[in-house]
Amino acid sequence: MQDTKHVFQTDVMSDNGKAEKVDPMSSSTPSSSAGGVGSADSAAPRRNSKRPKYSKFTQQELPACKPILTPRWVISAFMLVSIVFIPIGVVSLFASRDVVEIIDRYETACVPDGYKNDKVTFIQSNLTKQCNRTLTVKKRMKKPIYVYYQLDNFYQNHRRYVKSRSDSQLKENSSWDDVSSCKPEDMSNGQPIVPCGLIAWSLFNDTYSFSLNNQQLVVNKKGISWKSDRDSKFGKDVFPKNFQNGTLKGGATLNSSIPLSEQEDLIVWMRTAALPTFRKLYGKIEQDLQPNDQILVTLDNNYNTYSFNGKKKLVLSTTSWLGGKNDFLGIAYLTVGGLCFFLALSFTVVYLVKPSIVLSPSFKQHFQVYLFFFPLNLKATRRPIVFVMEQKSRRTLSNARRTWNLSSPMVTVGLMG
């Protein structure tokens, strides 16, 4: 049987207003750039072209790797992610569950009944602020046991608060009067404040002492700050001067005979938190605690969080190889791994039930793929139809016609000879 060349044809409007059949594969197809009136005048001067100089880089024709995402590759990638993430999530979650925490919120319980409705007046008065709390150990806590204080609704990340400090003053004694960035806590009684700024002025001043079976539990406050902060940001020859001498005290006072590099409560507080709810290390208990132990806590409720509806909590916590208690990391890994496993399973079912045709580079040498858009109803809804036709194969053409119901006279489908 003689091979014939079939092409896709469509009706276009010519310059004289008549419909003509156009062969898109023919080189003689009329276009607006050739055959016009202006092209007849070969002597007409050409305009200066602004087309950039040709290069493979500007035309994005550099050699590139173009991987083909076959269903098997996609399923394998999702399955690999799930195999890696799910075990990590399980291990992280178990490590977090091994951490033992005791959390006690005390800012309301440590206010006398007569001041429950006016807590600010109580915290600003000269009344005793001492409060006793009892903590019960539910699981064995191995040393070291870290003691934290937690503040809620305290925005240490406020821009004005964060900038109210002088790093040069904290580091070098020669810059003790550099307080230009510390306003409003820069001067007191006409003298510079060391350390200056709102951060140091608002130093946390609640204190805790612990006892077990009428024996004092020693809280180690050495090494609770970052070593880099002690060595690089706070000078060994810088001592507090004129600190908390104003009419309004914001927090704790500092021993003027101890250099800033050794005042670790201050160093911990000066490393500002990014979120309004944060914990800061108060000290470490170097002793194991057994289940059902009763710990008596004697605390001084001095810090004013009532003015901004803040909360104060005392936290005793152990650690694991992953750090403190944090279920989010394990849950996040399990969620991502489970989602990838579900997608891999779904794609596998779809691939087995209804496999798709994937054109490899060698396959494309023998097949032609064309994408057409044509109206399917009166509302001119356009929909892509992909025709895969084997070269010189009438059987594929016949199957494509039956599959896509190509009975519309607007489209002529044929083989590429």
Q: What pLDDT was estimated at residue 403?
A: 53
Q: Which residue has the higher pLDDT, 384 or 271?
A: 271
295 beta partners: 135, 212
Q: Which residue has the higher pLDDT, 382 or 107?
A: 107
Q: What percent of the chain has pLDDT over 90?
A: 56
**Which of 324, 172, 160, 307 has the alpha carbon at shortest distance from 248?**
307
Segment 193-218 mean pLDDT: 93
Q: What percent of the chain has pLDDT over 70?
A: 74
Question: Residues 197-208, buried b or exposed e (16+ Cβ, 10 A)?
Answer: bbbbbbbbbbbb
Segment 92-118 mean pLDDT: 93
CA geometry: angle 211, 264, 222, nearest 5 deg = 55
Peptide linkage before 67 cis (omega within 30 of 0): no
Euclidean distance between CA atoms 44 and 183, whole angstroms: 75
Segment 151-167 mean pLDDT: 94
Choose the weakest-confidence range: 15-29, 107-121, 145-159: 15-29
Segment 292-314 mean pLDDT: 94
On whether the CB atoms of residues 389 and 416 are closer than 8 A, the answer is yes
| pLDDT tens per residue across span 343-385 | 999 999 998 888 766 555 554 444 444 444 444 443 444 444 4
Q: What pLDDT was estimated at residue 338?
A: 96
On whether the CB atoms of residues 219 and 298 are closer than 8 A, the answer is no
Segment 309-331 mean pLDDT: 93
Segment 178-204 mean pLDDT: 92
Hey, what are 56's tokens? 């493979």
Mean pLDDT score across all residues of the chain: 80
Segment 399-410 mean pLDDT: 49
| pLDDT tens per residue across span 274-287 | 999 999 999 999 99
Q: What pLDDT was estimated at residue 357?
A: 61
Q: What pLDDT was estimated at residue 345?
A: 95
Hey, what are 250's tokens? 């914001």
Sign of the alpha-carbon dihedral angle for 298, 310, 145, 201? negative
Phi-psi label, residue 197: left if phi above 0, alpha if psi -120 to 50, beta otherwise: left
3-state secondary structure the chain: CCCCCCCCCEEEECCCCCEEEECCCCCCCCECCECCCHHHCCCCCCCCCCCCCCCCCCCCCCCCCCCCCCHHHHHHHHHHHHHHHHHHHHHHHHHHHCCCEEEEECCCCCCCHHHCCCHHHHHHCCCCCEEEEEEECCCCECCCEEEEEEEECCCCCCHHHHHCCCHHHHHCHHHCCCCCCCCCCCEECCEECECCCHHHHCCCCCEEEEEECCEEECEECCCCCCHHHHHHCCCCCCCCECCCCCCCCCCCCCCCCCCHHHCHHHHHHHCCCCCCCEEEEEEEECCCECCCCEEEEEEECCCCCHHHCCEEEEEEECCECCECCCHHHHHHHHHHHHHHHHHHHHHHHHHHHCCCCCCCHHHHCCEEEEEEEEECCCCCCEEEEEEEEECCCHHHHHHHHHHHCCCCCCCCCCCCC
Q: Which residue has the higher pLDDT, 8 or 252?
A: 252
Is residue 193 pLDDT above 50, yes or no? yes
Phi, psi of 279 (to 5 degrees): -120, 145
Q: What pLDDT was estimated at residue 30?
A: 44
Q: What residue ranges do the domains of the chain occupy?
A: 68-99+324-354, 101-318
Cβ partners under 8 Å of residue 71, min gap 6 = 347, 351, 355, 356, 358
pTM: 0.69
Q: Which residue has the higher pLDDT, 195 or 404?
A: 195
Segment 84-98 mean pLDDT: 95
Q: What pLDDT was estimated at residue 38?
A: 46
